[in-house]
Amino acid sequence: MKDKGENTDARVVEGIVKYFQGKGDITIAEGCCGTSRLAPASTYQLFEFAGYSKLEKKHEARLLDLNNDVFERVKLHDRVLGVAKTVLDAHYLVTAPALKTHEFTTISACVKNLMGCLEPKPAEGHETATKWEIHAELSEADLSEDPSKYLSELARFEHRLIDLYRRLSPKLGVIDAITASEGDAPVHGTPVHMGLVLASESPVSCDAVAAYLMGIDPRAVGHLQLAKNQGLGEIDIDEIETNVNLQPYRRKFKLPSSITRLHRLELAHRDR
């Protein structure tokens, strides 16, 4: 089975490993959130599937399944959740996601990627434990039936996510946008070839540039605006220095159906 952009390209991971070789012990860590609809179903299958296992042998980088790590209880906004201790104790943390759209966060990139560090919890219909606990209430909310409750739970999730980002404080963000995913990703996403890799010592700004390249206003992405408000990174494209002109690489990604519905409801509310 060929990877369709769901996982970070092994070449990107290898580039990061080679850059940091000789600077300390390197760990490639992942806490796979597997379901019966996603392949592979577990973290070690993912290491094989995505080609990371070869990097362990080639570069003597340690592979770690975060789902089997020791977890420390950390308060994230209004909830206390388990966070992998290896990541909490990391001297230099790199967040290296594959770029996707997402039903709750609009985009899934450097910030959203950190959910892999959470303690997995069993969930009905999932063949492996998942990271659902951070947005449990949002998963149960119905946008069509009660938009106000949905927006309230979305805001709570965004605050928890940014608290997780603040606590882990990644020093570098590297986004694999070689093959991204649009639409109802990650489960039902459609691959989009972009041929890009983004990197920044400000992972929040890296996400903002990624959103812009997807045709999304970063200021309309709730958790990114929240991060900016908390002084965690710049998201105004005009204020972010880049090494290339972004415009030729920009395109219009198809958004998840849930985000499209949310935008329609917001427009209808404004027109009242």
pLDDT at 38 over 90: no
27-36, 43-52, 92-101, 123-132: segment of lowest average pLDDT? 123-132
Mean pLDDT within 232-261: 96
Q: What is the pLDDT of residues 2-20, one digit of tens each?
A: 566 789 999 999 999 999 9
pLDDT at 84 over 90: yes
Q: What is the pLDDT of residues 59-68, one digit of tens each?
A: 989 999 998 8
- Determine the Cα–Cα distance for residues 6 and 99; give it in Å rounded to an integer: 8
- Determine the Cα–Cα distance for residues 185 and 5; give it in Å rounded to an integer: 10
In CATH terms, 10-271 corresponds, of 2.40.128, 2.60.40, 3.40.190, 3.40.50, to 3.40.50
**How much is the pLDDT for 185?**
83
Q: What is the pLDDT of residues 149-168, one digit of tens each?
A: 999 999 999 999 999 999 99
Mean pLDDT within 234-238: 97
Q: What is the pLDDT of residues 168-222, one digit of tens each?
A: 999 999 999 999 999 998 778 999 999 999 999 999 999 999 999 999 999 999 9
Residue 101 Rama label (left phi>0; alpha psi -120 to 50; beta): beta
111 and 169 Cβ atoms separated by less than 8 Å: no
Of 226 and 125, which is predicted with more confidence?
A: 226
**How much is the pLDDT for 229?**
98
Beta strand segments in the chain, E: 27-30, 62-65, 71-76, 79-84, 94-95, 98-102, 106-108, 172-184, 188-200
Of 109 and 1, which is predicted with more confidence?
A: 109
User: In whole angstroms, how far apart are CA 147 and each of 139, 166, 207?
Assistant: 13, 28, 27
Mean pLDDT within 55-78: 93
Q: What is the pLDDT of residues 42-54, one digit of tens each?
A: 788 889 889 999 9
**How much is the pLDDT for 267?**
62
**How much is the pLDDT for 35?**
44
Q: What is the pLDDT of residues 86-120, one digit of tens each?
A: 999 999 999 999 999 999 999 999 999 999 999 98
8 and 173 Cβ atoms separated by less than 8 Å: no
**How much is the pLDDT for 37?**
45
**How much is the pLDDT for 46?**
86
**How much is the pLDDT for 4?**
67
